[in-house]
Amino acid sequence: MIEALILTGFLGSGKTTLLGRLLRRPEFSRTAVIINEFGEIGLDHELIEASEDSLIELQTGCLCCKIRNDLATTIHDLLRRRDEGTVAPFTRLVIETSGLADPAPVLQTLMTDAAIAARVVLGGIVTTVDAVNGADTLDREEISAKQAAVADRLLLTKTDLASPPPALMLRLKELNATAPVLIARHGEIDAHDLCNGPLYDPLTRSVDVRSWLGSAPTHEHHHGHDGIDTFALVRSEPLRAVTLTLFLEAIAEHCGADLLRLKGIVNILESPERPAVIHGVQHVFHPPTWLPGWPSGDRQSRLIFIVRGIPRRWVEALLATLDAEVAEVSASMSS
């Protein structure tokens, strides 16, 4: 499988600088890169000095809107050329979005295109945040807050110019309590910290659930005009598989684009020893993955929601109601 890393972050937050540094590292020698630039003439690719085995593809436009299909086409083309041997056999794909892009449609493309999903596994989303201007940008630009909210790793850049202000760190924690905040100095970052298994570990070919779920927020955060909230539902009682299915169906149906991301580990009544890992972006969900066992002694279900304008109480009420209904139907069928 080829690991895909989505690199996102607002305009000027240091994505291209970071990518340029990463591509000089031996760990990134077998990396293909897709750079998405917004504008008639792209410049970012000129700023990157790729190593010999790296490959750069350039698109103009914005991945999240008019050329979304082009992303799939570009990846198909890359894979074909890899198979034909006309490009190096890359093992990692980095997709750098434009600074104005919503990363969700990029994720959806990787999830829903069968030919891509069969060969490319989502490694994680890294979002760069400028330590100097990041706090203002997060307040002013809704898309910036969204980019931070969906990240698996948050990467603070330009820390050589200014120490990250406490308000920025607090804001990032509010937007995305589960993502570790890493610090890049002069664009340098330990590639291991950045890439190893937020979603997919190429060595173990599995998800590091504890790292991925991080420290789940225990209470709802309320924010400014962006309306982005993050909260966790923790549940001790196992869920029936049907309840989970109906719950995800209703969440997808009623939340749609306002469900920025949902991830979790679920104790399923019918499968007590093998928890299900769930992951969704807007209305698109991966099929549940069944882990071989619990990653720790904690067998509670944990569902982490990153949402825009969806009240936690509604989500809780939905789950409670579905749970009661399914339990009653199950009881009536078995009596």
Partner 1 sequence: MTAAPSDLLCELLAQSLSAWHVSGEVRRESGSAILISGGGRQILVEPAPPGLPFRWHVTVDDRKRPAISVVAVLRQTREALDPGYATQRVRVAAFPLVLT
Q: Contact residues for partner 1 (CB under 8 A)?
A: 1, 111-114, 116-118, 121-122, 199-200, 205-207, 246, 248-250, 252-254, 256, 277, 279, 283-292, 310-311, 313-314, 317-318, 320-322, 324-325, 328-329
23 vs 304, beta carbon nearer partner 1 = 304
C-alpha–C-alpha distance, residues 324 and 151, integer Å: 34
21 vs 261, beta carbon nearer partner 1 = 261
Whose CA is closest to 229, among 301, 284, 311, 147? 311
Q: Which residue in the block uniquely carries the two structure tokens 């149906």? A: 253
C-alpha–C-alpha distance, residues 29 and 50, integer Å: 9
224 vs 311, beta carbon nearer partner 1 = 311
Kindly state the smallest distance separating residue 168's Cβ from partner 1, in Å: 30
91 vs 159, beta carbon nearer partner 1 = 91
99 vs 123, beta carbon nearer partner 1 = 123
Question: C-alpha dihedral over 128, 105, 290, 254, to 10 degrees?
Answer: 110
Cα 123 to the center of its chain, rounded Å = 9
Interstrand relation of 301-308 and 259-268 (parallel, antiparallel or unpaired): antiparallel
Kindly state the smallest distance separating residue 199's Cβ from partner 1, in Å: 7
CB distance 304 to 263 below 8 Å: yes
C-alpha–C-alpha distance, residues 327 and 321, integer Å: 10
Kindly state the smallest distance separating residue 245's Cβ from partner 1, in Å: 9
CB distance 36 to 59 below 8 Å: yes
Kindly state the smallest distance separating residue 278's Cβ from partner 1, in Å: 8
52 vs 253, beta carbon nearer partner 1 = 253
C-alpha–C-alpha distance, residues 322 and 314, integer Å: 12
Kindly state the smallest distance separating residue 22's Cβ from partner 1, in Å: 23
C-alpha–C-alpha distance, residues 181 and 142, integer Å: 20
88 vs 111, beta carbon nearer partner 1 = 111
238 vs 280, beta carbon nearer partner 1 = 280
Whose CA is closest to 287, among 102, 103, 112? 112
Kindly state the smallest distance separating residue 133's Cβ from partner 1, in Å: 33
Question: C-alpha dihedral over 151, 192, 21, 35, to 10 degrees?
Answer: -40
Whose CA is closest to 104, among 260, 255, 254, 227? 260
185 vs 205, beta carbon nearer partner 1 = 205
For 260, other C-beta atoms within 10 Å of its C-beta total 27
Kindly state the smallest distance separating residue 282's Cβ from partner 1, in Å: 8
Kindly state the smallest distance separating residue 114's Cβ from partner 1, in Å: 4
Kindly state the smallest distance separating residue 331's Cβ from partner 1, in Å: 9
